[in-house]
Amino acid sequence: MVQIGLFDFENRLKDISKFGDPLERLSKVVDFEVFRKDLEEVLSFSNQSKGGRPAYDAVLMFKVLVLQALYNLSDDQVEYQLKDRLSFMRFLGLSISHRIPDAKTVWLYRERLKDAGAIEQLFARFDEVLKSMGYLAMGGQIVDASIIQAPRQRMTKEEKALIKAGGIPEEWREKPAKLRQKDRDARWMVKQSKAKQEGMADFGIPYFGYKNHLTSDRRYGFVRRYEVTAANCHDGHVLPKILDKENMSKDIWGDTAYHTHDNERHLKENIFRSQLHRKKPKGCPLNQRIAQGNKTKSKVRAKVEHIFASQKDKMGLFIRTIGLSRAKVKIGLANLAYNFNRLSFWERKRAFAG
């Protein structure tokens, strides 16, 4: 059996650094200690003066949840990876001899954040950090939403109708274990393809889950505000909740889903300048001038797609949990993790420019 030497751990980490460890870069640009006060207020499980095993450090556990969001890991997977990957250990400030949080502990800490509604608070805290570093919200803002899928529920038509009406099937009540596994907050929606939008025949694609509504500043591309709903919530209904009034420009870009009379009135009343896409009138072709205007606006609006592509493709965002409150934690962490990566990008760019 090969014995691990005193410096083997450090030497291997040096080798990993040569390949450009993204977590090492992240640790250098994000000061996770700024979250300590907020975290300790909601993550203190017990009075340690009474004895028992000491609780894990609050910031360490938060960083574990960040790893989950960045790499699409379940609780069991993150426990395994923490024990297996040296880059994860270094990110958390652990070594081979340290105690590693198990899957149950990770679940408990995430539940504690959910019960306290702390993710929104942590997200706002980091937005303050960004502004203090000079990354002010400017250039206007881009609003959009994306469906985040969850495991599809097997239900009869009658069960679906009852759940949609806010009820619970009697059979589920009699089987608590089954009821706990049924997501009664997620919803189905059919997403129309471009063919349908252009008036061609199309059956659409069904999705089940939740929706991540957000606004991003045009200048730096950070997520500045967000809202989590069931997947069937219309994008336009959420616009007033996600607008960032601190953006230094009043321009608002968004697709046709946001172009409603109520939203246009809201923007005007709050002194915003609408750059929303205009809809095609029913039964009439789109005016050429308006079509060209939409095309010009698309060059700006398309930038927000980078956020969703990063979350779905690189981070593999998928809702494994049950219920809206837990989905808010998962999606909120994904938005925060995206901002961490975005800050790393801008700080590298600043370093090269300097």
Q: What is the pTM of this model?
A: 0.91
Residue 35 has pLDDT above 80, yes or no: yes
252 is a domain residue: yes
| 347 confidence band (pLDDT: 50, 70, 90) | very high
Q: What percent of the chain has pLDDT over 70?
A: 91
Q: Check: CB of residue 225 under 8 Å from CB of residue 206.
A: no
In this prediction, residue 193 carries a pLDDT of: 62
159 is a domain residue: no
Residue reference for tokens 């889903």: 257
- 314: number of CA atoms within 13 Å, CB side? 13
Query: Looking at the structure, do residues 279 and 336 belong to the same domain, yes or no?
Result: yes
The residue type found at 346 is W
Q: How far is CA 38 from the centre of its chain?
A: 19
Residue 354 has pLDDT above 80, yes or no: no
Rounded Cα distance between 203 and 30, Å, is 45
Rounded Cα distance between 143 and 254, Å, is 5
The pair of three-digit structure tokens given for residue 226, joined into one six-digit string: 């967000």
63 is a domain residue: yes
Query: CA–CA distance from 137 to each of 197, 272, 275, 283, 333 (Å)?
Result: 33, 15, 17, 40, 20
Residues 282-302: tens digit of each pLDDT: 778 888 888 899 999 999 999
Query: Looking at the structure, do residues 208 and 323 belong to the same domain, yes or no?
Result: yes
- In this prediction, residues 333-353 reach a mean pLDDT of 95
Per the structure, the complete domain to which residue 74 belongs is given by 8-45+52-116
Higher pLDDT pick, 305 / 46: 305
85 is a domain residue: yes
- In this prediction, residues 29-49 reach a mean pLDDT of 82
| 4 confidence band (pLDDT: 50, 70, 90) | low
172 is a domain residue: no
Query: Looking at the structure, do residues 80 and 145 belong to the same domain, yes or no?
Result: no
Query: Looking at the structure, do residues 139 and 233 belong to the same domain, yes or no?
Result: yes
Query: CA–CA distance from 116 to each of 112, 225, 329 (Å)?
Result: 6, 19, 11
Rounded Cα distance between 185 and 40, Å, is 30
Average of per-residue pLDDT values in the chain: 89
Q: Any idea what the CATH number is for the domain that residue 245 is in?
A: 3.30.420.10
Residues 151-186: tens digit of each pLDDT: 887 777 777 788 777 788 777 777 777 777 888 899
Q: What letter would DSSP give residue 2?
A: P
Q: What percent of the chain has pLDDT over 90?
A: 68
In this prediction, residue 6 carries a pLDDT of: 58
Query: Looking at the structure, do residues 62 and 131 belong to the same domain, yes or no?
Result: no
Lowest-confidence region among 9-13, 122-126, 262-266, 319-323:
9-13
Residues 185-231: tens digit of each pLDDT: 999 888 876 545 555 545 678 899 999 999 999 999 999 999 999 99
Instruction: Look at the alpha carbons of 244, 32, 115, 111 in this order and tell me if their dihedral is positive or negative.
Output: positive
Residues 14-34: tens digit of each pLDDT: 888 888 899 999 999 999 999
Which residues are bridge partners to 188 per DSSP?
Answer: 208
The pair of three-digit structure tokens given for residue 157, joined into one six-digit string: 């038509």
146 is a domain residue: yes
In this prediction, residue 63 carries a pLDDT of: 98
In this prediction, residue 177 carries a pLDDT of: 73
| 48 confidence band (pLDDT: 50, 70, 90) | low
178 is a domain residue: no
Residues 76-120: tens digit of each pLDDT: 999 999 999 999 999 999 988 899 999 999 999 999 999 999 999
The pair of three-digit structure tokens given for residue 72, joined into one six-digit string: 């699409």
